[in-house]
Structure 1
Amino acid sequence: MKKIKVLVVDDSAFMRKLIAEFLTEDSRLEVVGSARNGQEAISKIQSLRPDVVTLDVEMPIMNGLEALGEIMKDCPTPVVMLSSTTKEGAENTLIAMQNGAFDFIAKPSGAISLDLYKVKQEIIDKVVAASRANVHKLQKNAGEIQRNLSGCKKYSKIESEVSVVSSYAIRDRVYRSKKIVLIGTSTGGPRALQTVLTNLPQSINAPILVVQHMPPGFTKSLAERLDSLCHIHVKEAEDGELIQKGTAYIAPGGFHLKVRKIGTGLAIVLEQSEPRNGHRPSVDVMFESVASELIDFTKTAVIMTGMGSDGANGLTELKKKGQVKAIAESQETSIVFGMPKAAIATHLIDNVENVENIAKTIVKYCES
């Protein structure tokens, strides 16, 4: 079997050596070279033609973001970013995802992580998955997102605060409508979420709960970034807060997101029970909680791009209880078709849609 060729890019010699050792332990992978900065990486990509690049975000001479832009423009290759969990690192990682990176891995303890072994299997799994990705789709999606950004309305801080206050004032109307939207996604999710959430109207007659597989420290930056681009309000979910329509709540990394009825309202419940299928937050856990708590609600469930099958079992539970419409992202636009494929295999999906059509379908179900 032909081995997957990998180029390792990091300004730390220790990190280059450690990552290369992890990768070469897997018989499917071959490290064909390494580079100390983005400039050197571009030169080596052109000469070595790797199948996948692991790319550090923070480097001298040419950093990971600058290098990624050049790579996707001149020599498109699937890129897995390695990032610190600082606020700046999280924000740069999200920009990288938007600009065409396949996925990212959070270094456990900063730029030089002596405990990198904690994410060893994640590095291997994501590099293998990246090797199967359609790099031209990554490149195309990055270009489309950049073009669409100019058309997104960016609210001022004052407008956003007024919007939030207004939504609290009409809270009771949310529960009389008894509609809720549930979105689950993983690899490729930040781009897919941006496409979907920026196309939802502020007047949408439902709250939106979102599980995006991400480690702690990244979901808050994701929520803030999406909030600056969307007509709806987007925030990281907080334990105990009352759910409002026209707001998307993103489960914090490291916490499962559930719901609980409180009088005529709904509250967010965050908890840290065991990961499900290796994930916390888990789409299955969110779907199952809504299935048991909100039998009388009309639910719209959406499963988008991602590795694995998270969401398929939860969808089965949702469909057993109450009225549910289910949407899966198409193979054509999914960066990784694992989660949507598993959902479709349940035969419980009502619509298979390209990512750019998902918002319109959500709105249709929320208005019906």
Structure 2
Amino acid sequence: MLEKKKVLVIDDSAFMRRVISDIINSDHRFIVVGTANNGEEGLKKTQELDPDVITLDVEMPSMNGLEMLNVLMKTNPKPVIVISALTKEGADTTIQALGLGAVDFITKPKNIFKMNEEEIKTHILEKIFLASKIHNFPTRNEKKIEKHTVKRVFSSPSSNVKKIVAIGTSTGGPRALQEVLPYLPKELPACYVIVQHMPPGFTKSLAERLNTLSEITVKEAEDKDILRPGVAYIAPGDYHILIEKSSNSSDYWIRLSSSPAVGGHRPSVNVMLNSLSETNLDNIIGVIMTGMGSDGCEGMKNLKVKNNAYIIAQDEKTCVVYGMPKAVVESGIADVVVPIQRIAKEIVKAVEVL
């Protein structure tokens, strides 16, 4: 019989601690080994109980979740799932937590008594199960990045875009993107289209957070956005992002689609990459980073065969989950496999040299 995975529940609400604990203990794979009502107690319990997974509320007295996470990931890293509110403030805080190293998040329903509904319980247990398999916690790049608060989307035509960089990522992606986009120079004649598996309401906060850290402009993609150099477009949650040629100019623009999920994902990396492949452009760089499953592999194959794209894959050592890059690497289409800290340099080199 398999040993049960140990879970530590940290929340300042006694009601939430009980609800979450009951859900976890209802599954034969897990056991709640302890609870804590603030970050300071959570750090002590982590040291004492050595849990396999931690669920973490962010808004807590004494030491909040972000403060605890910052200390934890530097001293005793564990897979952490953040419990998030379905609000703009909750989304912003969740993105900060993912940037600090949380592996995933769960949104509380607006009606807290719906936590016990079967669909929500199944969702929570699946997230905990996947988190329990994570044992890799890449170190963060500690370089201080100048914050850029006032930026405009460039008005220069898309013909000045020397390369289109298409990036796909999932679990661990927000932190990985934080290790790449801030290190791309704004003068580089490239634009960036990005799929990060994430539900609605969070991709805008992710784009805003990355925009404050980066020289390039980072925005949540909108329908009919024209591709411009120095701009990164992140697919909004629950929409596929496709790249198409404008019918009345040489521009390429973004089309958002609510067509059915592909491989369980909307947005899907494959949908984005396949649309790029159909443009017949030969100036594409594909980047595949940390994530569960194999979304992006089919699209990268098409880009390699049809468009002779240059493919960059994140290495296993620096991935939170070596799933999506593994599929690309094992298919033999990756031109280079590098740590997350080198991906920005590889992109710059590919744009300037290739």
Q: Which amino acid aligns with 1:211?
A: V
Task: Report the counterpart of residue 207 of structure 2 in structure 1.
Answer: 223
Deviations 1:240-274 (A, max 9, x none): 12111111000111111111211211111111112
Task: Report the counterpart of residue 326 of structure 1 in structure 2.
Answer: 311
> In structure 2, what is the Cα distance between the partners aligned to 1:279 and 1:358?
24
Task: Report the counterpart of residue 220 of structure 2 in structure 1.
Answer: 236
After superposition, the Cα gap between the structure-2 partners of 1:172 and 1:36, relative to the gap in structure 1 and judged at 3 Å, is closer
**1:120 correspondence with 2:148:** no
Q: Which amino acid aligns with 1:240?
A: K
Q: Which moved more, 1:92-101 or 1:181-190?
A: 92-101
> In structure 2, what is the Cα distance between the partners aligned to 1:30 and 1:257?
40
Deviations 1:43-88 (A, max 9, x none): 3323322111101112234321122234334543221111113121
Question: C-alpha displacement at 1:113, in angstroms?
Answer: 5.8
Task: Report the counterpart of residue 5 of structure 2 in structure 1.
Answer: 4
Task: Report the counterpart of residue 182 of structure 1 in structure 2.
Answer: 166
SS in 2 for 1:109: coil
Deviations 1:113-153 (A, max 9, x none): 62564443342233223223236x35x22xx3xx21x2x23
Between Structure 1 and Structure 2, how many residues are aligned?
349
> In structure 2, what is the Cα distance between the partners aligned to 1:71 and 1:323?
43
> In structure 2, what is the Cα distance between the partners aligned to 1:116 and 1:348?
45
Task: Report the counterpart of residue 256 of structure 1 in structure 2.
Answer: 240
> In structure 1, what is the Cα distance between the partners aligned to 2:74 and 2:268?
34
> In structure 2, what is the Cα distance between the partners aligned to 1:324 and 1:202?
22
Question: C-alpha displacement at 1:11, in angstroms?
Answer: 2.8
Q: Which amino acid aligns with 2:301?
A: T
Task: Report the counterpart of residue 92 of structure 2 in structure 1.
Answer: 91
Measured on the aligned residues, the alpha-carbon RMSD in Å equals 2.0
**1:194 correspondence with 2:189:** no
> In structure 2, what is the Cα distance between the partners aligned to 1:113 and 1:359?
45
After superposition, the Cα gap between the structure-2 partners of 1:120 and 1:282, relative to the gap in structure 1 and judged at 3 Å, is farther
Deviations 1:306-338 (A, max 9, x none): 111111122122223222111110001111111
**1:349 correspondence with 2:320:** no
> In structure 1, what is the Cα distance between the partners aligned to 2:185 and 2:320?
25
Task: Report the counterpart of residue 42 of structure 2 in structure 1.
Answer: 41
> Can you give the 5+ residue segments of structure 2 that lack an aligned partner in the other structure?
none
Task: Report the counterpart of residue 246 of structure 1 in structure 2.
Answer: 230
Residues 242 and 275 of structure 2 are in contact (CA less than 8 Å); yes or no, is this contact kept in structure 1?
yes
Residues 12 and 36 of structure 1 are in contact (CA less than 8 Å); yes or no, is this contact kept in structure 2?
yes
Q: Which amino acid aligns with 2:146?
A: K
After superposition, the Cα gap between the structure-2 partners of 1:18 and 1:96, relative to the gap in structure 1 and judged at 3 Å, is same
Q: Which amino acid aligns with 1:46?
A: Q
Residues 158 and 227 of structure 2 are in contact (CA less than 8 Å); yes or no, is this contact kept in structure 1?
no
After superposition, the Cα gap between the structure-2 partners of 1:277 and 1:226, relative to the gap in structure 1 and judged at 3 Å, is same
> In structure 2, what is the Cα distance between the partners aligned to 1:156 and 1:64?
26
The correspondence of residues 36-185 of structure 1 with structure 2, limited to 5 A, is 36-109=37-110, 112=112, 114-115=114-115, 117=117, 118-134=119-135, 137-138=137-138, 140-141=139-140, 144=141, 147-148=142-143, 150=144, 152-157=145-150, 160-161=151-152, 164=153, 167-168=154-155, 170-174=156-160, 177=162, 179-185=163-169
Task: Report the counterpart of residue 280 of structure 1 in structure 2.
Answer: 266
SS in 1 for 2:46: helix
Task: Report the counterpart of residue 256 of structure 2 in structure 1.
Answer: 270
> Can you give the 5+ residue segments of structure 1 that lack an aligned partner in the other structure?
none
After superposition, the Cα gap between the structure-2 partners of 1:322 and 1:73, relative to the gap in structure 1 and judged at 3 Å, is closer
TM-score, normalised via structure 2 length: 0.91
SS in 2 for 1:198: helix
Question: C-alpha displacement at 1:234, in angstroms?
Answer: 0.7
After superposition, the Cα gap between the structure-2 partners of 1:11 and 1:154, relative to the gap in structure 1 and judged at 3 Å, is closer
Question: C-alpha displacement at 1:283, in angstroms?
Answer: 0.6
Higher helix share: 1
SS in 2 for 1:101: coil
After superposition, the Cα gap between the structure-2 partners of 1:114 and 1:189, relative to the gap in structure 1 and judged at 3 Å, is same
SS in 2 for 1:348: coil
Question: C-alpha displacement at 1:10, in angstroms?
Answer: 2.2
TM-score, normalised via structure 1 length: 0.88
After superposition, the Cα gap between the structure-2 partners of 1:366 and 1:74, relative to the gap in structure 1 and judged at 3 Å, is closer
> In structure 2, what is the Cα distance between the partners aligned to 1:325 and 1:126?
33
After superposition, the Cα gap between the structure-2 partners of 1:302 and 1:74, relative to the gap in structure 1 and judged at 3 Å, is closer
